[in-house]
Structure 1
């Protein structure tokens, strides 16, 4: 089928791509940023030695940060809070929303293990006062407490609260807060660049027929349908 778009051949497109010069040092920094932000401490250390690229934070702090993340993902919220305070007590002191979400996760874990009386007492003593100060917190608390109305919390209408995804969400929030406290970006740059690539290709699709990357993981160019 004929197209009115301008067609760029593979040879011409590859020449244009090759004309773009990207320093190896910049690529290495991008890789190191991803490894550090996502917490791959062993890979970051090996990459530092092999490439000579220095991370912008102490790699030892990654181990501590990952220990907090693992504690949240395992449902050990008290341990996670203790570890965060050992890292930097100001993180929770200056972030009431994060502290509430950690306490909310602790309440969810009590409900998950059917510790009803303990859950009620914890909600009354620790979370209700915060809900009185913030209506957003109060709504989240009421939603969480609704879990107590169901015998099978995993298959109830609010089952997502006891799903692993909720732990991961809380762990991600804690991870971001720790990175911010260390003056580091809370999100790696690489995924943002990949999103930009997809956006740019979608924009070009309106005007050109060109070899495009359809599978980001392989970065292989596929000829246009013209």
Structure 2
């Protein structure tokens, strides 16, 4: 089987919301060993993601939130692999903007532990989206934050379904309480650590959004 490892795949496509469309690069995270894996955020390119998974059994497609750029390839990847799509129920209205014909297969809940190759602890972190979640992998010293926390600050809150005070509360109460050495693997861009981001919290609050 081998030890759990994390692979990063960057895919390119478009993010659309509130009538606007932007070109984006997304991080797709694959967590697994030699035999099986889960995908965190099936963005843009089901073929590229399936190739990165290889001949391993894909057990779940976990959505950190339901903005289209994080879920657009999920149904195609699920159809190809038989993996279940998992999303927090509060993001179902966003999900249905992109995939009105197919709901997720299961619901993520705060405090849930996904028994993957390494246990993934679900942390509900609303703000960027109502059903945004982060996935903490204690054994790997890692948290997958989707678009909740980036290198340099919180995710955007200027569009529908988002709220700046809520994302600040989520980051302060749910993420900055993790060990400071915890690596933060984000939905876009480069990684950071909890310890690197924690001192900036008050500055984000002052700047607002």
Q: Same fold (TM over 0.5)?
A: no
Give 1 or 2: higher helix fraction: 1
TM-score, normalising length: structure 1 = 0.28
Rg larger for: 1
Higher relative contact order (CA 8 A, sep 6+): 1
TM-score, normalising length: structure 2 = 0.30
